[in-house]
């Protein structure tokens, strides 16, 4: 009798892990918002309407402790490579006419998935190389469409200095339309073009919303005219709802094609929201100031810092029949996503360059993985997180660095610096942070004074 019980357990276990077989490998859809705040989603209690994202949150697993880098290029580099972006010298947004790009010597997520037979595509924001020769195709994407830079005029699709950015497969193009709509429409068109339903696909959809400049039609702003007083806050809310509607169209297409039956959907924001935007000469002075953008409350601070409001972001994973409706409080880094998705695609051989951890057990609610330390480097700060502690170091030009220690379980809003009261913990984490910092590239895209 015990023998048959063991057989039954093996059957159930292997059935759950059947994604490793070619017939049951999942499709993967990753959706990335740009500068979306913790407090700007309906499922976090916002007045901003995000019904399609909320549905994902209700049906899937909310990753309540999902950590990214303080800005966009570093987060995207870490996601695709499975290692802290500082290792590649990318610690701030790649901007202006920089030649900096993601190193082509490091194996990327789409490259590994291609080895598993996946078709790969990226729609929307790239921001890991501002020139076509360092675009997505170089790093494993079969198809790419969208913009190379970090921010664009939503209609002309030009960068803030006037450079062209909108492209299809590395060739600059001019198209009418709002970036949010174009990204969604191209994604749907590509999905429609898949002829063989047995072929797996990996799609990365990186919206430009709700990143400034905010250029939303009246129909998106009208629902918020009586909700918010600040005009830029209204436009920000409109951008969020516009993006949510675009996501809804993509999810509907997946359902219509029956692809949603076996598709992992991962959603997250690349970093927390910005407080405001004063553009000055950007876009030739076309846009006025935005005095109020997103909300990271109740978390502390804004994009570019290493406080929770910048690096702890909304994240959801949904895989029909596999993920559970729950909230996971496991500490997860964006660097963990590369090895996790590769494993779920059936590949157990992770490149030695990867520093992230496979957290697929957390996705599937089998067990909470062992907590690992999380290292995050930003503009002038870096931090090391080891549950329940977080040590932040702020570097300055002409003085010793400043340290802050928080128990982010008891004090998630980072109000009580415990360096004086917890000297042993402080010293231990200082050593770990220093060791991680020393592993970073000595050539970074930001100097200590914060100039780009």
Which amino acids are annotated catalytic? 72, 127
State how far the Cα of 374 lies from the Cα of 84, in Å rounded to an integer: 9
Both tokens of 99, joined, read 């030649």
Q: What is the DSSP string of 389-426?
A: EEEEEE--SSSPPEEEEEETTT-TT-----TTT-HHHH
Both tokens of 257, joined, read 């094609």
Residues 6+ apart with CB under 8 A from 91: 69, 74, 85, 377, 378, 379, 440, 444, 445, 446
Both tokens of 61, joined, read 């697993």
Beta bridge partners of residue 210, listed in sequence order: none
- Beta strands (DSSP E) in 18-78 are 27-33, 61-67
State how far the Cα of 344 lies from the Cα of 55, in Å rounded to an integer: 23
Residues 6+ apart with CB under 8 A from 362: 61, 63, 328, 330, 332, 368, 369
Whether the CB-CB separation of 145 and 208 falls below 8 Å is answered with: no
* Residue tagged 């990186």 (tokens): 206
Beta bridge partners of residue 382, listed in sequence order: 377, 393
């Amino acid at each position: 009798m015990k023998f048959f019980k063991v057989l039954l357990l093996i059957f159930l276990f292997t059935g759950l892990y059947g994604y490793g077989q070619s017939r049951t490998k999942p499709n993967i859809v990753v959706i990335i918002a740009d500068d979306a705040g913790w407090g700007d989603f309906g499922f976090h209690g916002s007045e901003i309407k995000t019904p399609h994202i909320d549905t994902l949150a209700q049906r899937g697993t909310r990753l309540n402790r999902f950590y990214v880098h303080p800005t966009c290029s570093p987060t995207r580099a870490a996601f695709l490579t499975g290692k802290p972006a500082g290792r590649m010298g990318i610690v701030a947004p790649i901007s202006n006419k920089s030649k900096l790009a993601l190193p082509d010597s490091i194996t990327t997520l789409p490259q590994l998935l291609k080895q598993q037979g996946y078709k790969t595509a990226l729609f929307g924001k790239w921001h890991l190389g501002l020139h076509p020769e360092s675009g997505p195709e170089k790093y494993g994407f079969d198809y790419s469409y969208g913009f190379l830079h970090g921010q664009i005029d939503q209609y002309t699709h030009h960068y803030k200095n006037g450079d062209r950015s909108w492209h299809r497969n590395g060739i600059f193009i001019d198209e009418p339309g709002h970036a949010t709509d174009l990204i969604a429409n191209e994604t749907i068109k590509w999905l429609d073009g898949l002829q063989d339903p047995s072929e797996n696909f990996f799609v990365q959809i990186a919206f430009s919303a709700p990143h400034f400049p905010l250029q939303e039609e009246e129909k998106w702003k009208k629902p918020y005219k009586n909700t918010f007083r600040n005009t830029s806050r209204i436009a920000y809310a409109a951008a969020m709802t516009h993006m949510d509607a675009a996501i809804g169209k993509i999810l509907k297409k997946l359902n219509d094609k029956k692809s949603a039956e076996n598709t992992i959907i991962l959603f997250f924001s690349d970093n927390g929201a910005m407080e405001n935007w004063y553009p000055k000469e950007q876009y030739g002075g076309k846009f006025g100031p935005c005095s109020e953008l997103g909300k990271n409350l109740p978390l502390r601070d804004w994009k570019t810092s290493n406080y929770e409001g910048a690096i702890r972001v909304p994240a959801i994973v949904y895989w029909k029949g596999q993920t559970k409706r729950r909230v996971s409080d496991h500490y997860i880094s964006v660097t963990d996503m590369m090895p996790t998705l590769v494993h779920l695609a059936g590949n157990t051989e992770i490149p030695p360059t990867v520093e992230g951890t496979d957290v697929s057990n957390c996705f599937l609610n089998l067990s909470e993985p062992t907590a690992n330390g999380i290292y995050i480097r930003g503009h002038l700060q870096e931090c090391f997180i080891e549950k329940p502690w977080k040590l932040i170091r702020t570097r300055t030009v002409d003085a010793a660095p400043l340290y802050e220690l928080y128990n982010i379980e008891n004090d998630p809003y980072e109000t009580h610096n415990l360096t004086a009261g917890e000297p042993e913990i402080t010293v231990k984490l200082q050593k770990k942070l220093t060791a991680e910092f020393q592993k970073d590239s000595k050539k970074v895209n930001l100097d200590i004074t914060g100039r780009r």
